[in-house]
Homo-oligomer: A and B are copies of this chain.
Amino acid sequence: MSLRSTVDFLLYQWLDAESLNERPRFADHSRETFDAVLDTCERIAREKYAPFNRLVDTQEPRFDGDQVILPQATHDAQKAYAESGMLSAAQDFEHGGMQLPYTIEAAANAFFAMASVSIGSGMLSTGNANLLMVHGTPLQKEVFAKNEFCGRFSGTMCLSEPQAGSSLSDVATRAMPDGEDYAQDPLGARYRLRGNKMWISAGDHELTENIIHLVLAKIPGPDGQLPTGTRGISLFIVPKKLVNEAGVLTGERNDVALAGLNHKLGWRGTVNTLLNFGEGKYPVRSTGGGLDGKGAGAVGYLVGQPGEGLRCMFHMMNEARIGVGIAATMLGLAGYEAALDYAKTRPQGRPAGPAGKDATQPQVPIIEHADVKRMLLAQKSYCEGALALELYCARLVDEQHSGTPEAADEARLLLEVLTPIAKSWPSEWCLEANSLAIQVHGGYGYTRDFPVEQYWRDNRLNMIHEGTHGIQAMDLLGRKVLMESGRGLALLAGRIQATAAQAQQVPELAAHAAALTAAWQQVTDATRAAWATGQPGDALANAVPYLQAFGHTVLAWIWLDVALSAQRQDATQSIAANVGRTRATAYFYHYELPKIGAWLQVVANRDLTCADMPEDAF
């Protein structure tokens, strides 16, 4: 099936996205306006992204000593994306936005991720600007966010530091008030920042007039010491080039210096940087009588209250993590599409059994071999299932923002529980799908003449950035399943049971319904057993196997719900497509869901084989 028909089915038939138009915020929209957005994005992705995916892989960003050089194709793609209006898709009409449901925005952005995941860096600017629209002052919104929405500026998120990758409490970037009048700057309380930030995507380039860094840093206490822990973290706007209150560049460079480009395994179209803030490469004249004369740091404007930086940043976390999940999913689907096409056209070998022994018969397309079908169906099941999960979560984001108070609260809590899965599951299993896509291609898949090896390399990032697999697992088992006395888990249980109850009425799905109910029982039992001693060391020793089992169970639920929807066939739909959905569901229940037993066993036993391993025995 084409991606578009799958997206249409999931959005309209399964998630009833059209009903969002009944809500005041989306009342001006209709199926037609949604489709127009999807059409536009599909077209731009096809014309401006897909043809250049290999090019951006081979022409990596480079620094000529002054500027970071990116291929012309990236400039063109960036321009087309900005012109589509997608940067401000979610914003109010009055701010020039499209006031689009997040569900549609996420689906539309998926086309770019599939066409070339590493050309697109719009997600960061959008996230950056959306954050400022919530936490910034009116002038910060005007000067920074709105210029990002129109594509004049772009944005970054600067969290990690070389000595503090995933451990944000160890952030050591220091922000000092910039002169006596620091609090009176119209752009926000003015500080001088010094520190190093690592893994900053889109951290330096010439795609836009300016780059707006959102930087986590700490303000020293009266004793001159940085506060410990994450509560001492504040958030700052640090533009690459200084601007005035009208958003016009003053002509002065801020003290943000490129310290290095990261050369990566994949995702090479996106420039990824190490940035030095306030190290004196571009010293800024003290505007308000800075604390010391020479290069006193990079100028930054406080966003929100001091010490609330992480809270502001994490406001956007669910959407960022869904964004990573979608990227992983779309890479998986890109590989599946390539493998399916190859399998249908490549002749090789003959069927198993006596008929295949006759070498005078012509060879058959490899899609006729059972194991090739298995590899294709696995890919379909992983990737279309993952897409359904991501769109389901996107729909919850809309529910959280525009639903009734009760529905919004439920959506919020469900998202807390599901987001670690939405981030981690596709990053693991759609990567596996990419490996299967290589395998379907045989030796050709191992060459750079076919696209699948690049998808596999690109996808390997997704288990690492935006919170590693291990961090998602600790978040799920250490926090999310416990929060509000387990109410999130109970809510999810309710939805799973509702799906199972419906599926039990459908002969073709009844066995799956029983398997899902049993699997969920195993998950809840294991959750309880993991925490039976109340010791985090016991419970979390096997957090990743727990995450894997939880993820597989969630996907089994999603597939069963999709299969129910496919059963409600109407005349507009392809019968073959619904056979495919039912078959992908059966694949998941027969081949995948049984894997949870092995993962949950160590969780339930609080197995410490790994956690207790003496270091010298490795």
Interfacial chain B residues near A601, Cβ < 8 Å: 590, 594
* CA of A445 to CA of B469, assembled, Å: 14
A279 at the interface (CB under 8 A from B): no
- The answer to whether A616 and B576 have CB atoms under 8 Å apart is yes
Instruction: Find chain B residues with CB under 8 A from A378 CB.
Output: 610
When distances are taken between beta carbons in the complex, the residues of chain B under 8 Å from A446 are 264-266, 460-461, 464
Q: State in angstroms the CA–CA spacing of A570 and B617 once bound together.
A: 17
- CB-defined interface of A551-588 with B at 8 Å, one 1/0 digit per residue? 00000000000000000000000001101100100110
Cβ of A166 within 8 Å of any chain B Cβ, yes or no, is yes
On whether the beta carbons of B587 and A610 are closer than 8 Å, the reply is yes
A455-476 to B contact mask, C-beta < 8 Å, 1/0: 0110011011100111001100
Binds B, one of A71-79, A411-419, A540-548: A540-548
* Contact status A617-B373, CB under 8 Å: no
A436 to chain B, nearest CB (A): 10
Given that A348-B165, A464-B446 are contacting pairs, would A470 and B369 also be in contact in the complex, using a CB cutoff of 8 Å? yes
Within the oligomer, what is the number of copies of this chain?
2
B544 pairs with A374, CB closer than 8 A: yes
Contact with B along A166-189 (1 / 0, CB 8 A): 110110000000000000000000
Given A348-B166, A359-B229, A590-B609, residue A199 in contact with residue B443 (CB < 8 A): yes
Chain A residues 583 to 612 lying within 8 A of chain B, measured CB to CB, are: 583, 586-587, 590-592, 594-595, 597-598, 601-602, 605, 607, 609-611
Q: Complex: how many Å from CA A580 to CA B618? A: 6
Residues in B with CB closer than 8 Å to A90 are: none
Bound CA span A309–B148, Å: 67
Q: Is the C-beta of A251 less than 8 angstroms from some C-beta in chain B?
A: no
A349 partner residues in chain B, CB cutoff 8 A: 166-167
Interface of A is mostly: helix
Residue from A374, A449, A594 whose CB has the most chain B CB atoms within 10 Å:
A374
Contacts A359-B170, A453-B265, A618-B380 given; does A536 touch B613 at CB 8 Å: no
CB distance from A275 to the nearest CB of B (A): 14
In angstroms, Cα B347 to Cα A587, docked, is 43
State in angstroms the CA–CA spacing of A229 and B358 once bound together. 8
A448 touches B263 (CB 8 A): yes
With beta carbons under 8 angstroms apart, the residue of B348, B577, B592 that contacts A617 is B577
Q: Is A518's beta carbon under 8 Å from chain B?
A: no
Q: A265-B446, A445-B464, A618-B376 are in contact. Are A610 and B228 (CB under 8 A)?
A: no
State whether A618 touches B360 (Cβ < 8 A).
no
Q: How far is the CA of A446 from the CA of B164 in the complex (A)?
A: 17
CA distance A373 to B611 in the complex (A): 6
A542 and B448 in contact, given A463-B439, A609-B591, A614-B579 (Cβ under 8 angstroms): no
Residues of B contacting A463 with CB < 8 Å?
A: 439
Q: How far is the CA of A411 from the CA of B453 in the complex (A)?
A: 39
Does A33 count as interface, using CB distance less than 8 angstroms? no
- The answer to whether B363 and A167 touch across the interface, beta carbons within 8 angstroms, is yes
CB distance from A383 to the nearest CB of B (A): 12
- Across-interface contacts of A453 in B (CB, < 8 A): 265, 460
With contacts A228-B359, A598-B595 taken as known, whether A540 is within 8 angstroms of B377 at the C-beta atoms is: no
- Give every chain B residue within 8 A of A263 (Cβ-Cβ): 447-449
CB distance from A581 to the nearest CB of B (A): 9
- Interface membership of A160, Cβ < 8 A: yes
- Residue of chain B at shortest CB distance from A356: B536
Chain B residues contacting A350 (CB-CB under 8 Å) are 167
Give me the interface of A with B, judged by CB distance under 8 Å: 1, 160, 163-167, 169-170, 198-199, 228-230, 262-266, 340, 344, 347-353, 359-360, 363, 367, 369-374, 376-378, 380, 435, 438-439, 442-443, 445-449, 453, 456-457, 460-461, 463-465, 468-470, 473-474, 478, 535-537, 540-545, 576-577, 579-580, 583, 586-587, 590-592, 594-595, 597-598, 601-602, 605, 607, 609-611, 613-618
Q: Could you write out 20 A-B pairs with CB less than 8 Å apart? A: A160-B443, A166-B348, A166-B349, A199-B443, A228-B359, A228-B360, A265-B457, A344-B615, A352-B474, A353-B535, A371-B543, A376-B613, A435-B460, A438-B464, A442-B464, A456-B460, A545-B591, A591-B602, A592-B598, A597-B598
**Beyond known contacts A351-B537, A580-B617: 7 more, CB 8 A cutoff:** A262-B443, A263-B448, A265-B446, A265-B457, A374-B544, A590-B607, A591-B607
